[in-house]
Amino acid sequence: MATKYSTAEERKTSKRQIDNMKDVLQNPIAWNEIRDKESFKKQLHQEESRLKQITPPKLDPIERRTYAQRIEQLERVMRLGNAVKGIPAMPSQKEQWDTPAGAVGKHGTWETFWKSHSVDDDDNIIKPDNGYGAIFQWKDMRRAFFADREEEDPDIANTDVFRPNDPEVGESKFIDYQSMTMSPLANLSYEEVDELFPEREPTTGELKVRAAELEKRREEMAQELRCQAKNKDGSQCKRDRIPNKVHCEVKTHKNQFKEK
């Protein structure tokens, strides 16, 4: 079994074919040229059904959370493997680029295994009866999650997006917030990520980002409490404003907001 959903380009081609066939139906001259009209209608119906089957579903907020968690799990297990149990880890980018002896076979072994195997919710290896392995599941879930981006980014369902940089790198891009621009978890807040993955340890990079964002929020809150008037030199007043007012007690600052 392969993926359930096709690429954005394939779906676009199918939609264009359907539109062309509908144009024929609505054009009396073109329709008159069709000899087997029943077969034509049947073909149109089949193409519409096929397009519906190969198009990812639209996800509601709850489904997006579920997909985010599952995508992260699949990336993690496929990246790390399990050497003790003979489950291959994902070859690194360096191995793929340098192609040392055995690199091609190593990638083939990894791909073959994860096309026919997956994991359950507890990370236990399973072999789906329908052959719908982790790679195919991951590709379909990514296409559904990023349905609005695939046309611009054809690598949405390319497993290279989570390939480790070198053999020592096993950290998930979902946890490295500086690399999360294409990650499903980029759409979630830190609090939501913590709720989804309560046992994970934030990286040093993430802690720095969190600290910087917290400091930014504190500054924004402090700014909201400050007097909005300007000093003589043009700088903003640093005094706290009067409750429910935009200025402080200084008379000249009050006058700046008097109605004219």
- Alpha carbon 37 to chain centroid distance? 44
Structure tokens at 45: 């119906």
At 236, phi and psi to the nearest 5? -80, 145
Residues recorded for the chain: 260
What confidence score (pLDDT) does residue 214 get? 80
First vs last Cα of the chain: how many Å apart?
75
DSSP code for 118: E
Beta bridge partners of 125: 119
Rounded CA separation 166/179 (Å): 16
Domain boundaries, the chain: 8-54, 61-188
Place of tokens 């340890």: 201
CA distances in angstroms from 227 to 37, 241, 242, 259, listed in the order given: 76, 4, 8, 17
Beta bridge partners of 126: 118
Do 66 and 188 touch, CB atoms closer than 8 A? no
Please name the amino acid found at residue 118.
Answer: S
Do 76 and 70 touch, CB atoms closer than 8 A? no
Helix H or strand E segment including 126: strand 125-126
Pairing of strands 118-119, 125-126: antiparallel
Task: Give the pLDDT of the chain (260 residues) as one tens digit per residue.
Answer: 689 999 888 999 999 999 999 999 999 999 999 999 999 999 999 999 999 999 999 988 888 888 988 998 999 899 888 877 778 788 887 777 766 676 677 788 889 899 999 998 888 888 888 889 999 999 999 999 988 887 788 888 888 888 887 655 444 444 333 343 445 555 566 676 677 667 666 666 667 777 877 888 788 887 788 888 888 888 888 888 888 888 888 888 888 877 54
